[in-house]
A and B are shown apart, each in its own frame.
Chain A
Amino acid sequence: MIYGWTNTILHIDLTSGKISKTSSKPYIREFLGGRGVNVKLLYELTKPGQNPLDPQSPIILGWGPLVGSGIIGGNQTEITFRTYPNGLYGTANFGGQLGPEMKFAGYDHVIITGRASKPTYIYIENDNIELRDASGLWGKDTFETPDLIKEEIGDPDIKVLCIGPAGEKLVAFASIEHNYRAAAGHGAGAIMGSKNLKAIAVRGTKGIKVYDAEKILQINEELVNRGKEVGEKKLKEVEEEIERRREGKETNWIVKRKLGASIGNLNGFSEAGLSWDDIEKTNPIVFKEEQKGAQGFYPCYACPSIWRWLDCPWMVKVPGDGVMVLGCMSWYVYRMYTSDMKTLLEADMLMSRYGLDHQSIMGTISWLMQIYDKGIISAKDTDGIPMEKGSREAILTTIHKIANREGFGNILADGALAFAQKLGKEAEYYLIHKKGLLQSVSYDYRVHVNRALSTAVDTRGDTIRSSSGLFTPTVMYFKGTHYNNPELVREALRLAKEAYGTEKAATPWEYEGVENLVRMYQDFCLAGDITGECIFVFRGIYEFKADSFQPEVRELFANMVSAATGVNITADELWRICNKVITLERAWNIREGHKGREDDTIPRRLLEERLPDGPFKGYTLNKEKLEELKSRYYALRGWDIETGIPTRETLEKYNLKDVADDLEKLGKLPKTKEA
């Protein structure tokens, strides 16, 4: 009897139309599932240096043992692929309804290779798999496509993952979408497009048998009750915030933004032409007040945390305008230099419909606006459209042009870096990217050194899933000093010590112990990605305890896996698997040409420019200290301190001798043993 897992990997080759199944058994004990098994499969299925758009370049979907197990938040899908255009490790994680449905249909992983001869979509209904004609869907946007598929097959309960016109046109920013939102960016949509694959639709009715249903119900009850409790607390905080607004006092939201300093575009707020009133418009409370009737919308499977102020970043429905992720809303304002919510909502909907990665597009437009402002480009470079800061025309036209590959959008569609290189060195300097992947500098690295480190070392190249936004102790510490409240400062230091073992965790701008902050949060995300559990549920319910992946949270993760699968996993074992997975991801990247420490960089501007305003005015990153931090981080991971490449010793410890041999053959394995 198999519990939690389905033991099945589905292989679909679009070139030959061949469909086969293999057992996931050899992988799951070593890597559990989701991102863990995905990277192992990626390692086996790819050849070094393969073009991301090569038909044999795979798209790997995976669902951990908690997906569809009935545990609250067990709904995450992991898509692993080679990023386009830069060809390095790409993995994306999202919730919604797809994952559980796939598990109910009977699959732990789905591997898609090949290229269909004509537009195609895959329809999976339990054991029946069909490759269906998608000629009629080609060109349809990501909102229309799922509806058309449901209509064609005649079942409203089908769950759909699809690309929009941008993916079909192989736009570098193209994403794969699910439930009206981007599910996987970094060119995943282009890879699907290159396969002539419009959508993957699924209906599963087999269910997932669990080992200990009683234990799962008990955990669910604990999560719901705790969630309600924290929800009440948050509601109280919301009331206090409303009170502060009424009294004309500085809101918590603004205090946090001050701590974030130059959010998004590396300009200070004043330089960006934004006032604190503009920023205040992004305060969820104000947003809700102004957008009357805004409500939580389209929750993920088996998760009640939507719109309970529980830090769930999922969707909010705005009457008349559409939907948007509340948590990401503020970034639009900072990066597009406007608080014109109507335009921003419209832009958001456009990107979703076209199937474009919001972060990358916003980064690109923000960059164009900056270099236009500095006189580096003129309207001539952008088909006569002035890239004025906050301009509605600039925002919307750029999105249309990129998605349709028109005019300057055609060059941008090959990646912002390609366009930057065409424009010249000065323009390139202002692009915030890492190896061509656009960065979301949501909290300024010059204040939040943990973000700098995680951006530098992260295996997929950006920090959304490897660095927390604002750590609770950090926020408390800042508020304590900001308002001259020594009691709050003391409490912050106590919490920091409790969570991370060092008081310094409250002050991430001081470098000390930052490697631990990064490692803990990365491992917390990894635990979620491997098991299929949503990390935001835990961040909401367990607050700072989850960020620092405290023993209590680790234990709970392990208990959940054990209850679902009947395989006894200890907290330590789970933690060990996290390190194993990230080490294999790293090794894959190294195999593909990542140079380790040398390539563990952050965008240059962050090392060269000082923070222009705010309470941290003048702060900058110290390159030497950052290098030392990298060394300490490599040591924590068991990687060679000098090169940042996993050592043979570490790889062999994780039964990855073949990987060590591969790296040795390529002359990339560190010669010295780990100190």
Chain B
Amino acid sequence: MGKILVVDIESCTGCRVCETVCSLVHFGECNPTRSRIKVLRYEKFGEYYINVPVVCQQCETPMCMQVCPVNAISEDPSTGAYIVNAEVCLGCRLCTIACPVGAIEVDPYSKTALKCDLCNGDPLCAKLCAHGAIRYVEEEKVGFVERRESIKKLETVLKIVEGTK
């Protein structure tokens, strides 16, 4: 069974090291615009401050793959990651519309789809996350990990709601 990336919003400080290393390893440049993982920050001074790393969840039924008119997306059997064949990709953006998490986009430079490829089984974003906010977890354990985290998320939301009352 494969492994996938699991994010923990509570632990994420928003330092964006993941974005940095992702663009470095794939493009030899530091450019958050070209990173396959992106940290979204929601903040309102004095009220809330949340960082959400958004990355491909390697869905069981990958919508991006299903909508692709030229079959540019396929599964890498060694890691289970769905990877984009840039040679074939048209840059039509259908995948970006289909993805339920918004984890696939078209690279503004190469004009082809950009998504997480799990770094051939050793995802750097997880490896270099000093706070353990991004973890590379075996699929069968994900359920437990995510539930634990959901409860933490709930706590955060409740705190915010409480605070704005």
Contacts and interface: CB of A to CB of B under 8 A. Distances in A.
Interface string A193-235: 0000000000001111110010011001100100110010000
B96 interface: no
Given A143-B45, A217-B25, A302-B15, A207 B130 contact: no
Interface residues of B, number: 31
A210 B30 contact: yes
A675 B1 CA distance: 74
B15 A70 contact: no
Contact of B16 (A143, A209, A301): A301
Contact of A213 (B24, B32, B41): B24
B130 A227 contact: yes
Question: 5 nearest interchain CB pairs?
Answer: A207-B31, A70-B30, A304-B130, A213-B28, A205-B33
A221 B25 contact: no
A85 B131 CA distance: 44
20 contacts: A68-B30, A70-B23, A70-B24, A100-B30, A104-B31, A104-B32, A104-B33, A205-B108, A210-B30, A217-B124, A217-B128, A220-B21, A221-B127, A296-B13, A297-B49, A302-B16, A302-B20, A304-B130, A304-B131, A317-B49
Interface in A290-308: 293, 296-308
A318 to B, nearest CB: 10
Given A156-B41, A227-B130, 12 more contacts: A68-B30, A70-B24, A180-B45, A206-B31, A207-B33, A210-B24, A220-B17, A298-B14, A302-B15, A304-B15, A305-B130, A317-B49
A293 B163 CA distance: 12
Instruction: Summarize B's interface: helix, strand, loop or mixed.
Output: mixed
A72 interface: yes
Nearest to A221: B128
Instruction: Summarize A's interface: helix, strand, loop or mixed.
Output: loop
B14 A207 contact: no
Interface in B108-162: 108, 124, 127-131, 159
A69 B25 CA distance: 12
Interface of A: 68-70, 72, 100, 104, 143, 147, 156, 180, 205-210, 213, 216-217, 220-221, 224, 227-228, 231, 293, 296-308, 317, 319-320, 322
A542 B30 CA distance: 25
A207 B34 contact: yes
B148 to A, nearest CB: 20
B24 A216 contact: yes
B77 interface: no
A217 B32 contact: no
A322 B32 CA distance: 29
A207 B15 contact: no
A217 B20 CA distance: 9
Interface in B67-102: none
B13 A306 contact: yes
B128 A220 contact: yes
B13 A205 contact: no
A207 B32 CA distance: 7
Contacts of B29: 207-210, 213
A207 B17 contact: no
Contacts of A217: 21, 24-25, 124, 128
Nearest to B45: A143
| Residue among B25, B30, B33 facing the most chain A CB atoms (10 A cut-off) | B30
Contacts of B13: 296, 299, 304, 306-307
Contact of B28 (A206, A209, A231, A296): A209
Contacts of B31: 104, 205-208
B128 A207 contact: no
Nearest to A180: B45
A1 to B, nearest CB: 11
B15 A300 contact: yes
B16 A322 contact: no
Contacts of A293: 159
A466 B23 CA distance: 35
A293 B48 CA distance: 12
